Structure 1
């Protein structure tokens, strides 16, 4: 005769204090080589090698060509000024535009200028003359360097021609310069003095590196706990685990803000206390979200497989490399579910721009809210069960 199966008690993990759970989680990270590599090794390696690609900051001496159809002293002066510009380097003067195009297609140059026939004659007559500039549009930075370099060279020569015309009309040299440019314009880059690409992109990408390494590490570690049945634990145990993840994340954040930015001389230190407040809000939100994703995936390998390919889309929706207004409206709302959205914007204000804490307060509040919701969800989903289901 079969008797109904009674619910069986489940052995719950032994009671641990917050400190004990914190130490045990750190010990688990040290024993797990994959998680250790993500949480400790990857931030250090990225911190040294990622900025290395942008060490030059500004492109200089980009190879170009000049197609001279005028063959006058004015066209030769434009060529000399172009070669003297630090942005570009004139490799050769082409006899025809076809020759310059073929050099561009072969990758020997990145752009060229076409000086039309009759340029000097048009200038002497006071007629408009156009110098065409063609550049490799497949690479935005190279295209910008070519366009700016030729524009500066042609603009300088054009200004000299105008000043000589004014002097010929009876004005002195100072009067001619003042007449040509009555209002002087001086442009100063406030928060990127070198106007370098590395100073623009690395401080923002650093926040993404912190997020992705901690997110994948936390999800993998939680997936390991799920596989071994250790994810069912009391709130104190989970708070200790989250604190251990935050400890490693804070160490990585201080490593970037306190040393990597100094090593590569990026704009920094605008509001040090504000930057510390950002890390205090940013890292817990990532750790809680990573643990929540780990519980959802339920498998350490799946967590890494899914999260590994999210970095580039997250970079595009963060709001520093792609205009937010160009995103679909749905993505403009969904992107706030990622800590990097608020973290990048707050970091640029506090660490680079030197804004007061009040300017970044909405972003910090969003991080605190996101972290609280994710941590609450983790505690609710991973609470220990007192009994197994019948038949389990």
Structure 2
């Protein structure tokens, strides 16, 4: 009975064009279109303006350094602050470097000198790149001045450099080697895509079966029928995850393959949990459209609850507990740790325990619902 139910479920999925599109084609489409905005990984050539009120050789050097910075694109150089403010308000530039009058005079006299940077906080990523880039420009010019002063008091430029930076600092990114946004967010969102497309497809299938009274299993209340349908939907999750973790991450060149064996074991557990959760949820819907509306509306909250883009410590205590009721919470954290960071199964023992408890609960509740559905 179990394998009969398994095959019957697969035939029903393949016969429903809408569900088939969501269960399989949806993931393929998402895998190419979702990472598309992040293909360049890091933000570059952010437009900025320079307000040069000093008009000295030092201010011109700062302007040249800003023009040479790979993250910046100087679109305007003006001595008038209101002109730069207008550019900032209109959105033509994302940052402004303000070089006040008398800057070079103060530096040559040994007095404290300041240059100011301003940004547009409406666009967080662009604002961060613009402010950091302009700050690096000011810091580079300042470091050059300091090195010249030290060189005048030391026998060589090497000793001057050593005196300025006695402790060498070398930043080496370990996991997100490109330090890009795509490699940070897409591996986690891939798990959410698999979950949401599966749940939408399953609620569509169950809603149609209930509406038309065309349930694919003649004796749907048996344990074998429940187990067969569970394995059928779990195989869909397994195939979609293999596609994302195997092909998409390779094609998009995201960090991958940290702990292959552990990932396969977690994938098997996640697939069963997702299928059991989906069946329990789908048996609550009697119409085809209701599940789609709910899944679309909850996709972003589910992503935030997973702790990928929002720190868990900043969530209310109640949400920190309730988020474990979703398979995506443990799935996203576990797969990112195993596949991107090379963690061991012991390192993700909390995620494994969460999936096991959720699987057991969904099986008990799902079986009870199945018998009376």
Is the pair's TM-score, using the shorter chain for normalization, greater than 0.5?
A: yes
The match for 2:179 among 195, 201, 216 is 195
Distance 1:192 1:38 in 2: 30
Shift of 1:378: 1.4
Other-structure match for 1:285: 273
Aligned pair 1:182/2:166, yes or no? yes
TM-score normalized with structure 2 length:
0.96
The match for 2:204 among 209, 220, 227 is 220
Contact 2:205 2:288 (C-alpha < 8 Å) held by counterparts: yes
* 1:36-55 to 2 correspondences below 5 Å: 36-55=20-39
SS of aligned partner of 2:87? helix
Contact 2:199 2:282 (C-alpha < 8 Å) held by counterparts: no
Other-structure match for 2:330: 342
Aligned pair 1:166/2:150, yes or no? yes
Aligned pair 1:321/2:309, yes or no? yes
Deviating beyond 4 angstroms after TM superposition, the runs of 4 or more aligned structure 1 residues are none
SS of aligned partner of 1:134? strand
Distance 1:100 1:169 in 2: 40
Distance 1:176 1:246 in 2: 64
Calculate the aligned-residue CA RMSD, in Å.
1.4
Shift of 1:259: 0.4
Shift of 1:219: 2.2
* 1:264-303 to 2 correspondences below 5 Å: 264-303=252-291
Aligned pair 1:365/2:349, yes or no? no
The count of residues paired between Structure 1 and Structure 2 equals 369
Distance 1:379 1:182 in 2: 67
Shift of 1:226: 3.0
SS of aligned partner of 2:44? coil
TM-score normalized with structure 1 length:
0.91
* 1:131-150 to 2 correspondences below 5 Å: 131-150=115-134
Shift of 1:170: 4.1
Shift of 1:329: 1.4
Contact 2:97 2:134 (C-alpha < 8 Å) held by counterparts: yes
Distance 1:94 1:294 in 2: 62
Other-structure match for 1:262: 250
Other-structure match for 1:78: 62
Distance 2:203 2:49 in 1: 53
Q: Deviations over 1:108-150 (max 9, x none)?
A: 2111110111111111122222211111111111111111111
Q: Deviations over 1:135-186 (max 9, x none)?
A: 1111111111111111111111111100111122344211111111111111
User: Gaps spanning 5+ residues in structure 1: where?
Assistant: 1-16, 386-392
Q: Which structure has the larger Rg over C-alpha atoms?
A: 1
SS of aligned partner of 2:257? coil
